[in-house]
Structure 1
């Protein structure tokens, strides 16, 4: 039966920096990460310091959770495609290396030796692998800073930095801002705000009880009772600690990378379970895969039916689906019987099965049909189809969704088919702040999301993103 679930032809390379034992959320996030670890090539797990854990690192906290994982990995493997098995506990233990037990920039300097964790990161950055290396940071960044400082004068330093992808949970020591100042071209996702003002950050939308979001974000699946029932079960769940401040504040770093058909890691402005981010420096508009990406907003209809527009909504809008998804995986840890637990739908659109986006050019003023009728559920569950336009990723001229053309979406055949009318070039290929008006040959991409949910318990959802580029067949200009 596992041959019927999604497979992952390519995997992100992931290197974790964590101030584990500082508070419970790092341990919670690592428990969740392990249940998705068959989607990644995990190349390092390095305990670090942070502003909250300044003078020690705690590899024992990582090993303790791997002990729980070791008891359930065989069950987990019974629920995933055979081409994408979970990593062995032994392989994970071998890549747990300690960072420097000092705060921030105290670990960075010409005469300061690299820690074991920094040595491992340097090795992985210099590896002969064409894929980017994602350094996801749950604490301080001095392990990364020390490596970048060490290689700064090497001839290949620029090439190494070009393969680096960073997603940090705000700045938790003084080395993150230093990295961005020294090498502003590094792909670096990070919320920026005043010290300790975490409620201002996008990532807090995973679980934080922010007053401005009350009535919008559904909190029913982040309560202690719900977590105890759904996450704190079995040998791995026994390693999942109670919430102290907010549940899993570090988890958005890898929710962003999860392969479920929604996000594209190289495009932070597209949005995913890990949030949505846009370039800080407007000069990066032409090259969105480089530079500092920070918080931006989505307009979302909340639980109370009202509109909410802020950066936290780019995360909490997906909360019920990513909570259900993890809950299902924790059920996997309890049994090797495929028939007793739930698995996500497998989407096929216009004959293409897979998790990558569908790109298509369409003449302005014409129409196109998308057919998802061959989509299926590995468990035979009934499926519900929802197609909708995600406007914010299309706002590439002003950054605001008012500039985006609203598409006419006509759903047929019980939701399995979609007819899309592409408006004329004057609406879809126009430079919105141009006097006199002018048109482009290719308009800004228009994003449609297909969500397919089953009726299993817990309910699981898969996605497919369709990216339509409207074409002006009456010529026009090449660029904005």
Structure 2
């Protein structure tokens, strides 16, 4: 049986408040069931029932309570499967933070002298209670947040309003009422992740990569549907007393889930860096000039199950589908009993003496140099065999690029742990300066070049398998000023054409 103190754990938790139009359709209930299974990795600050364009005049907090009641029956089992320092919240606490937002659509809640809803008051209280950021996950409309912001704007000095906004982190599942755009226009400094498209054109949004191919074509059949079908969910998720409150989907499965997959502390993502990518997708700043902190869809290039390359925003989510569905199924097994020998637990990953937690490993590396990355201290708490997969994640480098064109040079990887190779050690050849540390317009050598991202995925042999990651962020340096071309170009197009030629 796994030693509980050797289970994967995190030293800090993001403060999270969920706003959901639960009961509009089954997918919000599905997402809440999954969300609570990751409650040991979050500091849950509130669960607020709201309206949306799909359900304009009613809120249903009672349906949150029903799921928490089911959670109450299994939380003891869940706590046996996680690190002692990362225990799950009690059901009584969760019941106490369920609140209601305005039972009306969108900006109707912003009418003069309209009373502040209990959900909006809770949001204000939770922001004020800490210096740390509050992640507001919007699964429906955003008038709970809008009402809170309007109240703050009307009752506090400008400096205090700015301070309040600086502590907000919003991840919204597109715009589902008429307050979201108002929020981004009125409070542009709020960190705000949201797909942008014409009204209700949701198939265009990145978050539909979670399971949008259940409802219509997605990336020419590139995603594998196997683990999102009703048959798979019945066998792996709708098990036991807690699984019984996970409903069948009507349209797609768990459309709101990417908001918290983004925050799961498995070593892949970094919540303050949306362009890095995670199970919850990848997003980039709309304006690099600083006029807004709105992050919107970007694209990943992924080879699908059909062996074809897909290049889409949805691919930033579905590329991880096997991993997040297996992880969900494994955690659902935790609800069945408190015997750790009868369930799987995630690997713990250490690279070059890094922490064993979700923090990334940052290294400054000279252009053209070679480094060794060693993950041999990684382990599986259940004693399962581990497989190691190293891969370069090029898209984050492209998204952050201001100086370099969208050409991202390859990191050359070579397994370096001998004949009895497990893949736990790899040698990395950093590209030469002319490929990653030269200004493409002026031809001048740069002291600091591109930031390259290398991902280690460690997968265990348990059933269902679980994965943990370590992101190695390589900041290329060029201390000796190599690679200068002396060629000056007037336009980026000219530079690219000469590069390709």
TM-score (norm 2): 0.92
* TM-fit CA distance, 1:235: 1.4
Asked if 1:471 is matched to 2:481, the reply is: no
1:203 to 190, 204, 207: 207
2:324 to 315, 322, 325: 322
Q: How does 1:94-243 map to 2 (within 5 A)?
A: 94-127=96-129, 129-153=130-154, 154-155=156-157, 156-209=160-213, 210-243=216-249
1:416 to 418, 424, 447: 424
* Residue pair 1:441, 1:476 contacting (<8 A) in 2 also: no
Provide Cα deviations, 1:402-427, integer angstroms capped at 9, x if missing partner.
Answer: 42121111122221111111122221
* TM-fit CA distance, 1:251: 0.2
* Residue pair 1:328, 1:458 contacting (<8 A) in 2 also: yes
2:443 to 421, 437, 443: 437
Structure 2 gap segments, 5+ residues each: 484-501
How far apart are the structure 1 equivalents of 2:396 and 2:289? 18
Residue aligned with 1:373, SS: coil
1:245 to 221, 226, 251: 251
* TM-fit CA distance, 1:212: 3.8
How far apart are the structure 2 equivalents of 1:401 and 1:8? 37
* Residue pair 2:434, 2:482 contacting (<8 A) in 1 also: no
Residue aligned with 1:152, SS: helix
Match of 1:44 in 2: 46
Provide Cα deviations, 1:14-34, integer angstroms capped at 9, x if missing partner.
Answer: 001000000000000000000
CA-based RMSD of the aligned residues comes to: 1.7
Q: How does 1:298-317 map to 2 (within 5 A)?
A: 298-317=300-319
Bigger mean CA offset, 213-222 vs 322-331: 213-222
Q: How does 1:21-32 map to 2 (within 5 A)?
A: 21-32=23-34
Provide Cα deviations, 1:369-416, integer angstroms capped at 9, x if missing partner.
Answer: 100011111111111100000000011226998421211111222211
Residue aligned with 1:97, SS: strand
* TM-fit CA distance, 1:214: 3.8
Q: How does 1:245-394 map to 2 (within 5 A)?
A: 245-284=251-290, 291-352=293-354, 353-394=356-397
1:426 to 434, 439, 442: 434
Residue aligned with 2:192, SS: strand
Structure 1 residues 233 and 423: alpha-carbon distance in aligned structure 2, compared to 1, 3 A threshold: same
* Residue pair 1:202, 1:311 contacting (<8 A) in 2 also: yes
How far apart are the structure 1 equivalents of 2:134 and 2:111? 23
* TM-fit CA distance, 1:467: 0.2
Asked if 1:63 is matched to 2:65, the reply is: yes
How far apart are the structure 1 equivalents of 2:344 and 2:219? 31
How far apart are the structure 2 equivalents of 1:121 and 1:399? 40
TM-score (norm 1): 0.96
How far apart are the structure 1 equivalents of 2:82 and 2:218? 39
* TM-fit CA distance, 1:460: 1.0
Q: Which runs of 4+ in 1 moved over 6 A?
A: none
